[in-house]
Amino acid sequence: MARYGMMIDTRKCVGCYACRVSCQMQNELPVEESFIHFYEKETGVFPNVKNEIIPVQCQHCEDAPCVSVCPTKATYTTEDGIVLVDEDKCIGCKYCMVACTYGARTQSHKTGVVEKCRFCAELVKEGKQPACVSTCISNARIFGDLDDPNSDVSKAIVKYNAKPLRPDLGKSKIYYVR
Amino acid sequence: MIWGTIIAAYLFLAGLSAGAYLTSSYVARKYPEAKAVRITGRIISPVLMAIGLLLLILDAEAGLKHPLRFIYLFTNFNSVMTIGTYFISFFMLAAAYTALMEILKKETNKYVEYAGMLFAVATAIYTGFLIGVVAAVPIWNTAILPILFVVSAMSTGIAGTMLVASFYDSKAVHRMLGVKKIHLGLLSAEVFLIFTMFLVTSYSNESAAESVATLVSGEYSTIFWIGLILVGLVLPIAVESFELYNDKKMKETEAGIMMAAAGQGGIAGTLVTESSVLVGGFILRFLLLAAAVPVPFL
Ligand code: SF4
Ligand code: SF4
C-alpha cells in the first residue's frame, strides 16, 4: 500500500496551463471546467517583490473534510490515500464543495456530480504518472509514494523542504516549494 | 455562493416547520380552546417541511437525475447531513401523522406527538449544525450558530402559525399572551445572539471578520440592516411590546377588560409582525450563506 502524494515546485512553474489542459483531456472536461486552478500571489515590499504562480488542485487530505461530510459516501479515500468520488453515488448536494478548504471541487454541468482531481488513479494503477505530472513542461511536478523514503517525491520534499499549503489545517498530500 | 437561495429557503422552511409543530403542541396544552391555532400549526408543519425537502432535492442536481441515489443519503453516519436526513424523516412521519389525525378529527397518540416534538427540536438544531461544522468557513463554525438557528426556528414557527391562524380566528390569536411573551423573548434573544456571534468570531478570526464586514458595512449591509435587523427584528419587537403593554393597560379599565376578553382589535398588528418575522428568518439564513468567507489557503 502506498500513500500517494505530489510535490509542486512553484519556482519552476511558468503558468503555462499545460497541466490544466492535459487534466481536462484526461478527464474529458469541457473548457470551462477544470480541476487545476491557478493563483497568483505577490509578497514583499517594492522593490523586493516576489510573484508566485501557484497551481492548486485537490490536496488529497488525510482525514479529508469532504469525505466526512459526504452524506452518500460517494467521496471516499482509497487504500493508497487517493480521495475519489463515486459518480454513481453522488447526488450533487455540494456539501463537499462547501467543506473543502482549497476550493478544489467543481460541479459538472452535464451530470451535476461534484468532481475533482483524482491523481489520475487509473493511470497510477498501471504504474504511470498522473497526466499533469507527465505533461509539465518544466518538471515542476513530482508524484510518488510519500511513505517510501527513497521515492523521488519523498527525496525532493526533503531536499527542498517543501510544505503543504496550510499544514495547520490538516494533513494534505501535495507539498509546495515556494 | 456554492449554497445559495434554494438552500437558504430549505433551512428556513425546515426551521419554520419544526417551530410550527412545537407551537401547536404548546398551544394544544396551554390554550386548548384555541383550536384554530393548534390545527394550523399541525397542518402547515408537514406541508412546509415537504416543500423544503423538494427544494433540497431540486438543488441536488445529480440526485435529481438519478433519484435512487437519495437512498445513499442514509449511509454516512459521520456526516451531519445523514444524521439530519434521519431527523427530518422521523419528524416528517410524526408531523404527517399528527396532521392526518387533525384532519380526521381523531385523537393524536401522545407518544407519537412527543416523538414529533423531539425530532422537531432535532431538525431545528440540525439546520444549524449542517453549516456549523464546516471548519472551512469560520463565520459558520461557531457554537452560537446552531443556537441562533433554533431560536429563529421557534420564532418563525410561532409567526407562521399565528399568521395563517389569524385569517380565520383573529380572536384566539389575540388572547394568547403567553405565546406573545415567548415570541418577544425569542426575538430579543436573536438580536443578542447575532451580535454576540459577530463580535466573538470577528475578534478571533480574520475570515470571519471579513464575513461580518460584508454584512454590516459591505456588499450586504442594506439587506442586513433594513431587511434583517429593522424589518425582521426591531419592527416585530416594537409591535409585540406595544401590544403587550396595551394589553396590560386595557386590563386596568372595565371596558378594556371586556374588550380583551372578547379578543377585539384588528389583526393588522399580527399580520405585520408575523410576516416581518418570516421575512427576517429567511434573510438571516440567506445572509449567512452569502457572507461565507473561507479560510485563505495561499
Ligand atoms: S482538497 Fe478538498 S476535495 Fe481534496 S481531499 Fe481535501 S477537502 Fe477533499
Ligand atoms: S456533492 Fe456528491 S460527493 Fe459531494 S458531498 Fe454531496 S454526494 Fe458527496
As a whole number, the mean pLDDT across chain A is 95
pLDDT tens figures, B12-46: 999 999 999 999 999 999 999 899 999 999 999 99
Domain that residue B245 falls in: 5-290
Residues of B whose CB is below 8 A from A99: 134-136
CATH fold label, A4-177? Alpha-Beta Plaits (3.30.70)
Rounded to the nearest whole angstrom, what is the distance from the C-alpha of residue A72 to the centroid of ligand 2?
7
ipTM for the predicted complex: 0.92
How would residue B245 be classed by pLDDT, with cut points 50, 70 and 90?
A: confident
Of the candidates B4, B130, B69, B5, which has an alpha carbon nearest to the alpha carbon of residue A112? B69
Check pLDDT > 60 for residue B262: no
Closest-lying ligand 2 atom to the alpha carbon of residue A92: 1
CB A91 within 8 A of CB B73: yes
Which stretch of DSSP H or E encloses residue B155? helix B144-168
Q: What pairs with residue A5 in β-bridges?
A: A144
CB B146 within 8 A of CB B128: yes
Residue B46 belongs to some domain of the structure = yes
Which amino acid, one-letter code, is at B25? S
> Domain holding B76: CATH number?
1.20.1630.10
Which residues touch A143 (CB under 8 Å, ≥6 apart)? A4, A5, A6, A119, A124, A129, A130, A133, A153
Closest-lying ligand 2 atom to the alpha carbon of residue A105: 4
Residue B295 belongs to some domain of the structure = no
Q: Other CB atoms closer than 10 Å to residue A88's CB: what's the count? A: 13
Residue B296 belongs to some domain of the structure = no
Tell which of B79, B86, B134, B205 to mutate to test the A interface (max A CBs under 10 Å): B79
Residue B226 belongs to some domain of the structure = yes
As a whole number, the mean pLDDT across chain B is 93
Check pLDDT > 70 for residue B257: no
pLDDT of residue B266: 63
Please state the three-class secondary structure of B170-235 as a single string: HHHHHHCHHHHHHHHHHHHHHHHHHHHHHHHHHHHCHHHHHHHHHHHCCCCHHHHHHHHHHHHHHH
C-alpha cell at B161: 402559525
Across the interface, whether the CB atoms of A41 and B295 are under 8 A apart is answered: no
Q: Region A9-21: what's the mean pLDDT?
A: 96
Residue B130 belongs to some domain of the structure = yes
CB A96 within 8 A of CB A66: yes
pLDDT tens figures, A96-143: 999 999 999 999 999 999 999 999 999 999 999 999 999 999 999 999
Rounded to whole angstroms, how far apart are CA atoms B14 and B238?
27
Residue B168 belongs to some domain of the structure = yes
Check pLDDT > 80 for residue A31: yes
pLDDT tens figures, A55-99: 999 999 999 999 999 999 999 999 999 999 999 999 999 999 999
Q: Region B59-79: what's the mean pLDDT?
A: 96
Rounded to whole angstroms, how far apart are CA atoms B285 and B139?
13
For A56-114, the DSSP string reads E-----TT-HHHHH-TTS-EEE-TTS-EEE-TTT-----HHHHH-TT---EE-TTT--E
Residue B298 belongs to some domain of the structure = no
User: Range with the lowest mean pLDDT among A24-38, B44-58, B205-219, B251-265?
Assistant: B251-265
Residue B132 belongs to some domain of the structure = yes
Check pLDDT > 90 for residue B158: yes
Q: Using the 8-state DSSP alphabet, how is residue B45 labeled?
A: H
Total number of domains constituting chain B = 1
So where are chain A's domains? 4-177
Residue A84 near ligand 2, beta carbon < 6 Å? no
Please, is B294 exposed, middle or buried when counting C-beta atoms within 10 Å of its C-beta (0-12, 13-18, 19+)? buried
| Sign (positive or negative) of CA dihedral B57, B123, B189, B114 | positive
Residue A67 near ligand 2, beta carbon < 6 Å? no
pLDDT of residue B259: 58
- Phi and psi of A41, rounded to 5°? -140, 130
**Taking an 8 Å Cβ-Cβ cutoff, which residues of chain B contact chain A?**
2-3, 56, 59-66, 69-70, 72-73, 75-76, 78-82, 85, 131, 133-137, 292, 294-295, 297-298
Cα angle A25, A175, A29 (rounded to 5 degrees) comes to: 15
Closest residue CA from atom 7 of ligand 1: A100
Residues of A whose CB is below 8 A from B298: 39, 41, 54, 56, 165
**Which of A63, A86, A102 should be mutated for ligand 1, with most atoms under 8 A from CB?**
A102
Pairing of strands A106-107, A114-115: antiparallel
Rounded to the nearest whole angstrom, what is the distance from the C-alpha of residue A60 to the centroid of ligand 2?
16
Which stretch of DSSP H or E encloses residue A176? strand A174-177
How would residue B177 be classed by pLDDT, with cut points 50, 70 and 90?
A: confident
What is the chain A residue with the closest CA to B71? Answer: A72
Which residues touch B171 (CB under 8 Å, ≥6 apart)? B262, B263, B264
CB contacts < 8 A, A to B, total: 105
Check pLDDT > 90 for residue B265: no
